[in-house]
Structure 1
Amino acid sequence: MERIRMTDVVTLLGLPQPPAGRVSCYVRCPCCDGERDKHLNINFKKEVFRCAKCGVSGGILDLYALFTGIDRDRVWRDLAERLRLNERPNLPEHRSFQQPVETLIADAATRHHTYSALLSMLGLANAHRENLHNRGLSDRDIAKLGYKSMPLANNSELVRRVLETGADPQGVPGFFRTKVGWWSFIHQRSGILIPVRDVQGRIQGLQLRLDNTENRKFRWISSVELTGGCGSPAWTHLAGKPGKMVVLTEGPMKADVIHALSGLTVLAVPGVNALQRLEEALTELRTQGVREIKTAFDMDYIANCYVQSAYDKLMALLGRMGFRHGTYVWDPRYKGLDDFIWAKLQDVISRASVDKLAI
């Protein structure tokens, strides 16, 4: 059987091939890169891709859908027509083309059940709890959010216990089959697991905040390169219950902290440029009564022309969808709205303590 290869799709998309002697190359990510940035890596040997900036990842069909905007369910048909699979000359009659075998992502209910079972069996390291305390989260907040430490060893035994709950890891990013066929969960460097929730509060994916790194601190939990594994889309995340107004920011952890400190309902995208799933989330929120969006991206968007360009596109999207919209602005000494709110709350607590001592 002949099948579509990554090289076929890359050629159709007009993307570069890797240099001689290499199996991968970097191209501009359509979700988050500016004109001169290249964060999306395409691996031609493993036939997968992943963006180091926003985390979007997947296989051959996902890459084609990402760059063309075609619905994932229609990709195979479109590729078959463009590559004229049934008309290729000089192929023996017994040879035919087959669709690449990729594990389809499980439905939202299955992912929520499986991730919930996994997280219930994990703990939170003291260093990670202290990190979250320093961001303004209380132990009660942490328990409610479900943050846990990344498991580092014996993950097959861990997943065996997950399976005993009736969970199904098939098509759930992060889970894969070992060489002997057992289900397991990916082993990565240490960090904090962040449940990423949809508008209904279900855990649709996981992010990992890595310890001891300055670059790419946040990564999507994915097992796309492993047997039986699955890639993770760059999901949106909702913190709090929808009301008439929602704050839009960058990053699930930032959204959780802003909500915990202020009570505001916050919708997070993976990055200011990663807006491919935002319209879907906003459409659902509109049915729940949301009428106004206040953006609260990190203050560096003011000086970053590429971020500013993406911000302008976002404003146009909100206008087309009929939302009233505006922007929160704060002291630029604080990068994010979460940092600003936490600093001001600490000032209030400090002044109150001084006043109490004076009395």
Structure 2
Amino acid sequence: MFNISDVANLLGIKRLTEGNSFNVVCPFCGDTRGKMNFRIVKDGELANTYHCFKCGAHGNMLTLYADLMGICGVDRYKIAYREIKTALHEGAGCRNSYDSSFTGTMTQIEEEETANLEKRSQIYQRLIEMLSLSETHRRKLMDRGLTSNQIEVFHFRSTPVHGTEGLARRLIKEGYSLAGIPGFYMNQNQNWDIALYRNNQGILCPAYSISGKIEGFQIRLDAPHDDKKYLWLSSTNKKRGAGSKSPVSFVGNPFDKTVRVTEGILKPIVAHALSGYSFLGTPGVNQYKSLEKALAVLKENGLEMVMEYFDMDKFMDIGCYGDYKSSTCGKCQNKERYYGRKICEEKRKKRDQIRAGCCRLYESCDRLKLKCIRKTWDQREDGIWAGNDKGIDDYWWSGLKKKEEQIGYDGMDRTIHHRSNLPSYGTRVA
């Protein structure tokens, strides 16, 4: 029998602590401060789970292996189990699940320091020029409210289905050094490559700095894994790879006196495109340190007010109705017993996580002496989210779409912003 400690060794994940609960360098976002925790045992029972408190990545040891090795499909966990078992059998063998005293040599991955913003942006810009956007992905972006012109302006691209080694080779021939560029690494053939596989195919969404440079990419997955829709383009734990650091993204005028804050990378782009307002997008509601740094820079530019537009999960109905996540509700043993009568603990965790992120934003604004206003929308009379439009981009787009359908808009170009036509919402000073 193997455990998540064995899987970590097999994948070459760098440990920061030891024991039955140990911290590692996050293989998804590259955090080195111990935010990623692996747990073999919890309360005397086998757990074999992981959770990163920076990027939110979580799952069990089979999820970990499948995601990092690019295994997808309905049999991904069976394949992962078989590969792990074979690899460990051919190596040093398996250890007892409770054994935390292993002192064998772990695989050491030679990583690179993440390159500076200027270098990253130059290479990412050139990569964008080499890639295209599929018609399917273009239609998906337009269905979210972006026009064809806006899609080009923000440089969305489809992940390539093959030829990643060739793309890296072209960049090198043009004089670019790929060392320290998140997403690039040296593969088993000792050739530079890009960390794009079957399991992370989707739309490349650029994350922009306040100065307009490309910090990195998030991938909007075509086939979400365990309800996870987004992954960073990262090459953490790969030879000569580098972590993405999960940057905050900015779109708009860096000298505006007001900025709106929401979650993600794609959402703020859509919200900005619909409204013309300036937006900061944070990769996770709890990544408040990088968000506060961005707010401090904007304050130096004259920022006075912050509007919090985090998703309406912050006011979700946390009752058990079997309607949370398919991967969660499908495994819940209490669904029928609690239906309509008890609180869903998973919903409560999600709501409380977003509320904690909101509070950290309010505290950051307080430290920076910035006025902060909380925004709400799509609510019932009792203040609970009505369950229709979770994100502000969804809410604005649903309202604008109705108006555009009435006038026969073709979706090719939207030359003016529709601020005056945006639906109304609630406000509260934080």
What is the TM-score when the length of structure 1 is the normalising length? 0.74
Report what 1:320 is aligned to: 367
Report what 1:261 is aligned to: 274
> How big is the shift at 1:310?
2.5
Report what 1:121 is aligned to: 130
Matched, 1:176 2:231: no
Task: Give the distance between the partners of 1:226 and 1:41, measured in 2 at CA.
Answer: 21
Report what 1:293 is aligned to: 306
> How big is the shift at 1:290?
1.2
The 3 A distance-change label for structure 1 pair 320 and 8 is: closer
Matched, 1:235 2:257: no
Deviations 1:226-278 (A, max 9, x none): 21111111110001122000000001100000011100100000121222311
SS at match of 1:172: coil
Task: Give the distance between the partners of 1:132 and 1:235, measured in 2 at CA.
Answer: 22
Task: Give the distance between the partners of 1:41 and 1:167, measured in 2 at CA.
Answer: 38
2:155 to 143, 146, 166: 146
Larger mean Cα displacement after TM superposition, 121-130 or 317-326: 317-326
> How big is the shift at 1:201?
0.8
2:209 to 186, 198, 202: 198
Structure 2 letter corresponding to 1:172: I
The 3 A distance-change label for structure 1 pair 318 and 174 is: same
Equivalent residues in 2 for 1:10-159, closer than 5 Å: 10=18, 18=40, 25-31=48-54, 39=58, 101-159=110-168
Report what 1:277 is aligned to: 290
> How big is the shift at 1:165?
3.2
1:335 to 386, 390, 398: 390
Provide the aligned length of Structure 1 versus Structure 2. Answer: 292
The 3 A distance-change label for structure 1 pair 291 and 156 is: same
Report what 2:171 is aligned to: 162
> How big is the shift at 1:166?
2.8
The 3 A distance-change label for structure 1 pair 152 and 348 is: same
Matched, 1:207 2:218: yes
What is the TM-score when the length of structure 2 is the normalising length? 0.62
Task: Give the distance between the partners of 1:310 and 1:155, measured in 2 at CA.
Answer: 37
Deviations 1:61-118 (A, max 9, x none): xxxxxxxxxxxxxxxxxxxxxxxxxxxxxxxxxxxxxx98531100101100111111
SS at match of 1:260: helix
SS at match of 1:161: helix
Q: Provide the identity percentage.
A: 31
Task: Give the distance between the partners of 1:292 and 1:255, measured in 2 at CA.
Answer: 17
Report what 1:346 is aligned to: 401
> How big is the shift at 1:179?
2.9
Task: Give the distance between the partners of 1:186 and 1:27, measured in 2 at CA.
Answer: 22
Query: Do 2:288 and 2:357's aligned partners in 1 also have CA atoms closer than 8 Å?
Result: no
Task: Give the distance between the partners of 2:217 and 2:354, measured in 1 at CA.
Answer: 25
SS at match of 1:311: helix
Query: Do 2:286 and 2:360's aligned partners in 1 also have CA atoms closer than 8 Å?
Result: no
Matched, 1:9 2:17: yes
SS at match of 1:212: strand
Structure 2 letter corresponding to 1:255: P
Structure 1 letter corresponding to 2:125: S
> How big is the shift at 1:317?
1.6
Q: Which runs of 5+ in 1 are unaligned?
A: 50-98, 355-359
2:356 to 297, 309, 315: 309
> How big is the shift at 1:6?
4.5
Deviations 1:121-173 (A, max 9, x none): 00101100000110111111011101000012121111122223332211011
Structure 2 letter corresponding to 1:212: A
> How big is the shift at 1:212?
2.8
